[in-house]
A and B are shown apart, each in its own frame.
Chain A
């Protein structure tokens, strides 16, 4: 599923003293198959943007109570907002937003805090049962849950009857992710999937996402402010700042714009810092800013 946004605007609490414009004329395309990174500070609009992707936040024209205003004579209309995810037109009132959510899985920050059921199996099955039109048989549920737990690296038999609250932090997060991917969404969006984990936990979660990207969900979108994470993992990235999209490009190009990123208060990955420092010393190292490529190219320079 391809995601396209054009001229997307969003304001929190409009017509109140607390009104704040969170998105300003955002245009962005995420192609199917991408491992896409969204970068930005807290309050840059990145979370607002991703919450549009499964209809948790809505374009005003898609709301039931929306009434089109007749334009005044001579008034210049703002450019039309476009927001589509695959076949779904998110600006349309007639769109079935629940059906959309089945196709766009969303893993929030610290997803382990959304666990609620008595057993791991029941928790993972929650979304599955919600989304299915017909009543699923026990075997169907069991099958789906088993596969979801296994792909996130948990043993179904050992886990299914355990209380999700008795698990370790890392396991809880995996169960929460299983609870989202169990419906086999084509797009998986994760907000800071590695937040709060120790280095090993981080590494494992990123490995898991690559596995999911390969075997389970065509498109993976991660929101992150860890530049190393972006440069190591993403095929393409967008930079949000103050509600606007500043860059959309592969990390290998993005992190050459170091000065612009610094001026936005953002950092660049370690690898890009090394390349930059080398450049200042008259050594050009053309790499895509992944660790492995940097090492390879550096060794090649030596010959």
Chain B
């Protein structure tokens, strides 16, 4: 079943210029899709269109076959589509962790016992059980984002969208968040739409989509996208450094395959060098 489907969607901001142009795009249930693009490529607009925070000017958007344009669906759609935003400080409502996670669950009118269970479930899913009674401001950036994920999880959405949720984090926080998201996708079967400009993160996805000027310009497995490095560069996206190294080595005569794994690259270099010295 299609979790998200965009059919010929147009969207432009008031100050002119298309943010999204005749976009056709879909995500299967349980899939992990990464959307790549430089700042201003329209990738964040995509997230807000999915749950009706923004309204499309044309075309049709459906979430589990429910059209987003129909107002009566909005509540049901928002229950199914959780979004984690960029700034960890601007999406927590309450000062104490459990109160914040409760917010969404309270909004959909669950009973106290259910909310309590959902808080426990959500905290466990993001690995932060021991912070239940902590103050949000005292947490690290990565921890705050995990709490934001937990806050979304408490509503038990089927789709989770991460709208550059790691952009403001340090590498450690980024890894924390990405580990949680990957696990949610694999173990809980949650459909993930990861919007990012970190190429390394896209590697965890089943499929990567590159956006430029409101259009999808490349699509495929992350590996196949990274193999087309020259094309990537025309969209102001640069290859992860290791990809660049692979290319240069190959040009210089060390026959290495495209990889983003240091171990594998080292193995291939070692084989080539050692073979030669025998």
Contact = CB atoms under 8 A, between A and B. Distances in A.
The reply, when asked whether chain A contacts chain B directly with Cβ atoms under 8 A, is yes
Main secondary structure of the interface of B (DSSP, over half): helix
Contacts of A43: 140
Contacts of A143: none
A276 B269 CA distance: 12
A168 interface: yes
A198 B38 contact: yes
B262 A302 contact: no
B265 A196 contact: no
Contacts of A42: 140-141, 170
Contacts of B263: 277
Contact of A302 (B40, B167, B240, B254): B254
Nearest to B141: A42
Contacts of B109: none
Contacts of A299: 249, 252-254
B270 A281 contact: yes
Interface in A32-80: 41-43
A162 B180 CA distance: 43
Given A270-B241, A273-B262, A298-B254, A169 B39 contact: yes
B189 to A, nearest CB: 31
B72 interface: no
Contacts of B167: 196
A159 B42 CA distance: 25
Interface string B224-256: 000000000000111011101100110011100
5 contacts: A43-B140, A199-B238, A227-B171, A277-B267, A299-B254
Among A168, A201, A270, A280, the one with the most B-chain Cβ atoms within 10 Å of its Cβ is A270
A295 B274 CA distance: 17
A42 B143 CA distance: 12
A119 B218 CA distance: 39
Contacts of A270: 240-242, 245, 262
B146 to A, nearest CB: 15
A303 interface: yes
A225 interface: yes
Contact of B39 (A198, A265, A267, A303): A198
A170 B39 contact: yes
B262 A274 contact: yes
B272 interface: yes
A208 interface: no
Interface string B256-275: 00000011011101101110
Contacts of B241: 228, 270-271, 291
Contacts of B170: 41-42, 225
B245 A291 contact: yes
A282 B270 contact: yes
Nearest to A285: B269
A226 interface: yes
Given A196-B167, A201-B39, A302-B252, A274 B141 contact: no
Contacts of B253: 299, 302
A282 B168 contact: no
A36 to B, nearest CB: 19
B111 interface: no
A207 to B, nearest CB: 13
